[in-house]
Structure 1
Amino acid sequence: MELQQMRYVVAVAETSNFTRAAERCHVVQSALSHQIKRLEHELGAPLFARTSRQVRLTPAGEAFLPAARQALEAAERAAADAAATVGEVRGRLSVGVIPTVAAVDVLAALRDLRNRHPQVRVSLRTGPSDQLTSDVASGQLDVAFLGLPSTARPAGVSCHELARDRLVAVLAPDHPLSCAHDLDLVDLAKEPFVDFPYGSAGRAQTDQAFARAGLGRDVAFEVTDAHLMAQVIRHGLAIGFLPSTYLRRAPELGGLAVVTVTDAPSRVEYVVWSKPAPTPATRAFLTAIGLPSPAGPPG
């Protein structure tokens, strides 16, 4: 059994197509098919059920795939760790960010990483803080940037606090309160709100602030990203809360009214990474954002 055969199996499983899998692996289809047939013969069981219309995993393929992925990841990590001992950083880096990250210029840090270590391959995606934390803990992400209520702290991962921030009220420019100064939550409680989904860390920041003030509110609109929240506010459908530092980097909020609230919600931004020894690429990226390199193989 060879690692290349495992790569071919994973590619076919992810594309459900031998032709696309061969293109991904930069080989001709006949070579890929031949290697998979050799592996199936060695295992004594077919990994794929092939028809003229589709390719799907057999029960043997379903059982084989998770361990094959783990073996490929382990081989890649072994090569990266070995290269790090002579000062070469390579491998893959998967980064998750909340849409409103503000404490770190993530793209500038990735540019610095690429300039220093061009062999690192990066995947970048957005998501809510709770999902990103879970993905780092499970190994699906190497590092993530979160925004949590001041009462919470990331669990199951290594973390570093980046910044603390107050949220500000964001309103349509023609809203009656758009020119007000130093409002309290009670001044806003009767307004319709747009916020992140119930149960998310982004939503909890504001929910907790209103609960502490003994106030209820009407969340008339739930959205999954700050850009859509800004559009709802711009059309006068609702008001919302967003971090003050994020506003400086958010062109989609131009023209909206921003009002300071004395008892406003607050949040803490964190960067988190997996508790086991991080990869050389992860350590290099954390250095690029100004953190000391965490423990790991010498590099």
Structure 2
Amino acid sequence: MDLQQMRYVVAVAETRNFTRAAERCSVVQSSLSHRIAGLERELGVKLFARSSRRVELTSAGAAFVAGARECLAAADRAAADAAAATGVVRGRLAVGVIVTTAAVDIPELLQRYRAKHPRVRVALRSGRSDDLVAAIRDGDLDIAFLGLPRGDRPLGVESVVLDEHEHVLVVPSGHRLAGAPRVTLREIADETFVDFVAGTPARAQSDQAFAAAGLVRHVAYEAGVVELITGLITRGLGVALLPSAFIRPLVADAPGLALVPVADGPGRVEHLAWSRFNPSPATRVMLDVLGVRPPSATRAAQRSGTTATGHRA
């Protein structure tokens, strides 16, 4: 058994197709099939159930793939650590980001990172904050940019606060409240709302604010992307509470929308999170590029009497 065989099996498991797996691995299909068949003979089990139209993992195959992924990750990490010992950072950096990130210009950050560390392969994934934190804990992501309600912190990971800002009310430009100097949650509780999907941290920011004020609102439309939310508002179908730092630049180019400050509205805290368990060299240099000093390093610096770099990016 060797690492290449493991890569072939994982590729077939993920694509459920021998042809696509061979293309991903840059090998002819006959060679890939031959190596997997040899591995099955060595193990004495079938890893895949095959038909003319379908390829699925057997129970033995599912167990093997879980271990193979861990072995491949360990091999990649060993190679990256060896390279880092010579001053060269390489390997893979998996970055998670919420769609409303405002504290950091992600494209500009990745451009700076690549300029300094061109041998690192960066994979970018968007999603909801709780899913991104879970992916860090599971080892699927190295680092993530999150947005959480005030008072919430990402659990089971290292993190620092990047920024904090208020929500504003987003209304159509012809709305009765457009141009108002300020409103309260009670004044807008009867409005029809557009918001993120229930149960997500992005939705919880507004839900918690209304609940704390003893108010109930009606959310008629749920969406997972900001473009759909603002599109529904522009059409006069509802209003929304969105993070001010994120939405203000967008509204500048959207004449159909207006922003209204909310006196007692929700707020959002943006966090940077990464794995507590032995961050990879690629993760550590990303923290350096961001100017972030890990809490463990800060505590060590405080014990030694040296000055720690601030956390704000």
Question: TM-score range with shorter-chain normalisation?
Answer: over 0.9
> What code does the residue aligned with 1:284 have?
V
Match of 1:236 in 2: 236
> What code does the residue aligned with 1:212 have?
A
Match of 1:74 in 2: 74
Match of 1:151 in 2: 151
Q: Deviations over 1:223-248 (max 9, x none)?
A: 11211110111111110011111024
Alignment CA distance shift 1:120-1:196 (3 Å): same
Structure 1 segment 140-289 matched on structure 2, within 5 A: 140-250=140-250, 254-255=254-255, 256-289=257-290
CA distance, structure 2, for counterparts of residue 50 and residue 262 of structure 1: 62
Match of 1:100 in 2: 100
Alignment CA distance shift 1:143-1:110 (3 Å): same
CA distance, structure 1, for counterparts of residue 38 and residue 272 of structure 2: 45
CA distance, structure 2, for counterparts of residue 12 and residue 251 of structure 1: 45
Q: Deviations over 1:85-118 (max 9, x none)?
A: 1111111111111111000111111111111111
Match of 2:16 in 1: 16
Alignment CA distance shift 1:277-1:205 (3 Å): same
CA distance, structure 2, for counterparts of residue 116 and residue 163 of structure 1: 25
CA distance, structure 1, for counterparts of residue 148 and residue 98 of structure 2: 10
CA distance, structure 2, for counterparts of residue 187 and residue 18 of structure 1: 60
Match of 1:4 in 2: 4
CA apart distance, 1:294:
7.5
Preserved CA contact (<8 Å) 1:102 1:249: no
Aligned length in residues = 296
CA RMSD between the two structures: 1.7
Which has the higher mean CA deviation after the structures are superposed, 141-150 or 44-53? 44-53
> What code does the residue aligned with 1:292 have?
R
Q: Deviations over 1:260-293 (max 9, x none)?
A: 1111111110010011011111112222222136
Q: Deviations over 1:49-106 (max 9, x none)?
A: 2222222222321221100111001100110011111111111111111111000111
Preserved CA contact (<8 Å) 1:170 1:233: yes
Which has the higher mean CA deviation after the structures are superposed, 209-218 or 102-111? 209-218
CA distance, structure 1, for counterparts of residue 18 and residue 274 of structure 2: 35
Alignment CA distance shift 1:225-1:185 (3 Å): same
> What code does the residue aligned with 2:112 have?
D
> What code does the residue aligned with 2:166 have?
R
> What code does the residue aligned with 2:81 have?
D
> What code does the residue aligned with 1:262 have?
A
Preserved CA contact (<8 Å) 1:164 1:267: yes
Alignment CA distance shift 1:87-1:294 (3 Å): farther
> What code does the residue aligned with 2:88 have?
E
Structure 1 segments of 4+ aligned residues over 3 angstroms from their partners: 293-296
Q: Deviations over 1:10-51 (max 9, x none)?
A: 111111222211111111122212211221111112222222
> What code does the residue aligned with 2:124 have?
L
Alignment CA distance shift 1:295-1:11 (3 Å): farther
Which has the higher mean CA deviation after the structures are superposed, 30-39 or 158-167? 30-39
Preserved CA contact (<8 Å) 1:147 1:268: yes
CA distance, structure 2, for counterparts of residue 251 and residue 86 of structure 1: 48
> What code does the residue aligned with 2:230 have?
A
CA distance, structure 2, for counterparts of residue 223 and residue 235 of structure 1: 15
- What TM-score do you get using the length of structure 2 for normalisation? 0.90
CA apart distance, 1:250:
2.7
